[in-house]
A and B are shown apart, each in its own frame.
Chain A
């Protein structure tokens, strides 16, 4: 059974047409797979490599450079919650917010809650420093996060 769904395969094939070299579709393909599957499995790497006419090792080399992509050993939860820890947020209570989220979710940064809903992450500057402390809910910013309980409850309702 193939790891890549037919619609993902089609999407990857259409992206190949946009770039002068097939290898350039590596990051877009990894994003497509991880967005849906919450990780990029070794089998998915092999299939992406075949589509891009590369060695699986080349896909793995690029993928592993970016700590961003997860393997099947450590898949993401439905919501990847990034708490910014860089200076502007740190000066305005990022560590307190992170501590509250660790307590509330019962996981350390990098871990996923038992129900598979939240993956908690520490982020370097996410570029929303006017709203420090800030978080990213997958790839959407939330500014001036003062209430960790409300943040979690709101995300559970929305997603």
Chain B
């Protein structure tokens, strides 16, 4: 296969890649100017629908279709919220895009606003991304100065205000209605849906929430066309009538026990094994992988034997993972205890459950307490069944919670026990702690 040439990451290594002059000299904002002049908003929506673009934030919902859920001929205002609260553990592609090529992101935001008829866009960036926030803030100011934001953009009737908004270190704000509540100045408790944000979102107005990588793809689709986007990636799986295909480039984050952690752009559908060996420099210290987390903590586990799985929207589900998630692959080697890995993941969800739904608040807390007990050598074999039971009972799938955080908290627990049961049993029976490499005692202060 010919070497894939990055598109989304094409500019990130350039000097001053974040400045509008550099961006414009590389042809930036031409697509926006052309779209405003020559295309109706409906034509932009049709193009994005035709491209097959699916949201990159984790759920993989078709982007163009989401846009059509807005009420027709609404008098406005309509809002576009940009979800830059990238908080799924082991995920950092949005950060790199915003820091290194904020105008690519902003052009995508302006194009999306044009398509959906938004007069105001709120760019919600997590607190932890200070440099990315400031890069986007500078980009917004530069775009206002060049008449690419504000009133009557490029002499058209299209007006758009952009507001930068900073989060306060809470994972739940990545859930789109949690983000909206947080933006409104409230605790970030996700809303019961319906109504979906497209009908009643921020400030009770129709609202679209899109992810950073998604809007960057929108910009590239305007420039390069729907056919270009569809020529990359994986068509729908005929065996899965619900699969809408996985088209376009994807930003894959590689972290954990590899020789070269980093961010790479590849066609959708690369196998985990190829990603690790060809792009992550292989597993470190000449060891073998014990497993990977294929798309952030919420997605569950793949064992070494499952690493030929393809990272498209349909692939990880075939081996029992929750989905593609964010495409962030974290490798742990065969010297690592699965007990320690699961402990870390359960601690994360217990900390980040927002507390609104009792099954999630209590379930994540108890899963953490039980894995902590196992880890300290006080586990019982039946604890494994209790963990699975809790994992099965919390979430939107069993119907006990408002948002998907709990599904994502339960999934790695269920996956780990099903796929690594013998190691858990051996750990509990033998108190075999020689494989422990993580020493987290300070967290009990």
Contact = CB atoms under 8 A, between A and B. Distances in A.
A87 B90 contact: yes
A67 B165 CA distance: 18
B170 A66 contact: yes
A66 B169 contact: yes
* Chain A: interface size category: 35 or more
Interface in B53-92: 77, 86-92
Contact of B130 (A87, A130, A132, A140): A140
B193 interface: no
Interface string A107-134: 0111000000000001111111111100
Contacts of A82: 128
B257 interface: yes
A99 B442 contact: yes
Interface in A10-29: 18-21, 23-28
Contacts, number: 170
B90 A23 contact: no
Given A68-B168, A132-B261, A136-B128, A127 B345 contact: no
A27 B130 contact: no
B127 interface: yes
Given A99-B442, A125-B90, A127-B91, A31 B166 contact: yes
Main secondary structure of the interface of B (DSSP, over half): mixed
* Chain B: interface size category: 35 or more
B430 interface: no
Contact of A124 (B182, B253, B254, B348): B348
B311 interface: no
Contact of B439 (A30, A69, A96, A109): A96
B438 A126 contact: no
Nearest to B328: A129
Contact of A69 (B95, B168, B441, B445): B168
A19 B184 CA distance: 9
A123 B351 CA distance: 10
A118 B126 CA distance: 22
Contacts of B332: 91
Interface in B161-183: 161, 163, 165-171, 182-183
Main secondary structure of the interface of A (DSSP, over half): mixed
A126 B128 contact: yes
Contacts of A154: none
Contacts of A127: 86-87, 91-92, 94-95, 126, 128-129
A66 to B, nearest CB: 4
Interface in B33-57: none
A20 B255 CA distance: 40
B131 interface: yes
Contacts of B182: 27
Contacts of A132: 255-256, 261
A62 B166 CA distance: 14
A130 to B, nearest CB: 4
A61 interface: yes
Interface in B339-375: 340-341, 344-345, 347-348, 351-352, 354
B371 to A, nearest CB: 14
B293 A87 contact: yes
Contact of B263 (A61, A130, A139): A130
Task: Give the most central of B184, B188, B254, B352: most A CB within 10 Å.
Answer: B184
A91 B128 contact: no
A87 to B, nearest CB: 5
A20 B204 CA distance: 10
B166 A86 contact: no
15 contacts: A19-B203, A26-B186, A62-B185, A65-B188, A66-B169, A82-B128, A88-B256, A91-B257, A96-B439, A123-B128, A125-B87, A125-B89, A127-B87, A127-B92, A139-B130
